[in-house]
Amino acid sequence: MPTDELISVAQAMVAKGRGILAADESSPTIKKRFDSINVESTEENRRSYRGLLFDTPGFEKHVSGVIMFDETLRQKAADGTPFPDLLTSKGVVPGIKVDKGAKPLAGFPDEKITEGLDGLRDRLKEYYDLGARFTKWRAVITIGHTIPTGFCIDANAHALARFAALSQEAGLVPIVEPEVLMDGSHTIERCEKVTEITLNHVFFQLMAHRVLLEGMVLKPNMVISGKDCDVQAGVHDVAEATVRCFRRSVPASVPGIVFLSGGQSAKLATQNLNAMNAMGDHPWELSFSYGRALQEEALRAWAGKSSNIAKAQKAFYHRAECVGAARYGKYTDAMEAA
């Protein structure tokens, strides 16, 4: 894909008022989601569930792209339309998770490295032919008493940059996801420091690997308190710390930042994004790439029953509408009851 097309797709992914649905749960993760509603995680049930999301009337008003798992990218809607074609027909960009998961980093207790670079070039070509136009790779950084180490951050930043360069070579826009986990008792101040260091290392490697920054999208964590921290930072503090951190670390040439929800509730993830956008203009679009925070209500409404599809789609659309409003800083608590 020529440079101008990479830039065009990246800009479409962070279009005003829209964001990205993360529907790329791995097989073990989607099984946990289905277990919570007592539904068996069969291939057909997974296809039906993803299909109801992708076929929700009007969801494309608020969703610009969808990240899929390998299995999902190859599946079809009930009428036989391949999922990538269904999404493209709605003006939604199809994407694919390409990493092989975070594994223990040898020699570094409690730290992880994401695998999946071997054979990636050939897989990317196949994914492009299947209709994908962007990719995603997640790296995880854990905060603890003596971690993260500089080596762990460097190793993951290097892998993210190699993935991004290979993706652009294949004509695919990379979503670069360095996630500083909320697991732990750390303060918001510690999260901000670790996030800033991580982002600085990531962008050093991206530029060293000659990645076109205008043709990529960043998917980071928000700067928040650890989930076991005694004092949880409020929405205002999260918004201020996050924007301050990213202004220090993310070049203005990046078209957009699509935050992950990272275990936050649907409402809190929406409130935090809204507060950031209500602060005024930023160098990049501040958007979302939520998984559970977009899907949780729809999943419970569906409960594995075809008779509940319309109810589930209504729940999904409502959440997408709320988060879409947060893209403008126009979300209100009153919208929750609508």
Using one digit for the tens of pLDDT, what is the confidence trace for 177-204?
999 999 999 999 999 999 999 999 999 9
Confidence tier at 256 by pLDDT (50, 70, 90): very high
Catalytic residue among 25, 177, 192, 285: 177
Q: 303: which residues sit within 8 A by CB, 6+ positions away? A: 37, 38, 39
Alpha helices in 117-234 (DSSP H): 120-130, 150-169, 188-208
Length of the chain: 338
pLDDT, position 70: 97
Rounded mean pLDDT, 231-260 = 98
Cα 57 from Cα 148, distance rounded (Å): 44
What whole-number distance in Å separates Cα of residue 222 and Cα of residue 277? 13
In this predicted structure, the answer to whether residue 338 has a pLDDT above a threshold of 90 is: no
d(CA 27, CA 120): 20
Average pLDDT of span 301-308 = 96
Q: Is the pTM above the cut of 0.85?
A: yes
Q: Which domains does the chain have, with CATH numbers?
A: 3-337 (3.20.20.70)
Is residue 1 scored above 80 in pLDDT? no
Instruction: Report the C-alpha gap between 258 and 219 in whole angstroms.
Output: 5
Summary mean pLDDT of the chain: 97
**Residue 143: Cβ-neighbour burial (10 angstroms; 0-12, 13-18, 19+):** buried
Condensed to tens digits (0 to 9), the pLDDT of residues 133-142 reads: 999 999 999 9
Q: Is 115 an active-site residue? A: no
* Residue 90 bears catalytic tag: no
Catalytic residue, candidates 219, 285, 296, 321 = 219
pLDDT tens-digit readout, 40-86: 999 999 999 999 999 999 999 999 999 999 999 999 999 999 999 99
Beta-strand pair 112-114/102-104? antiparallel
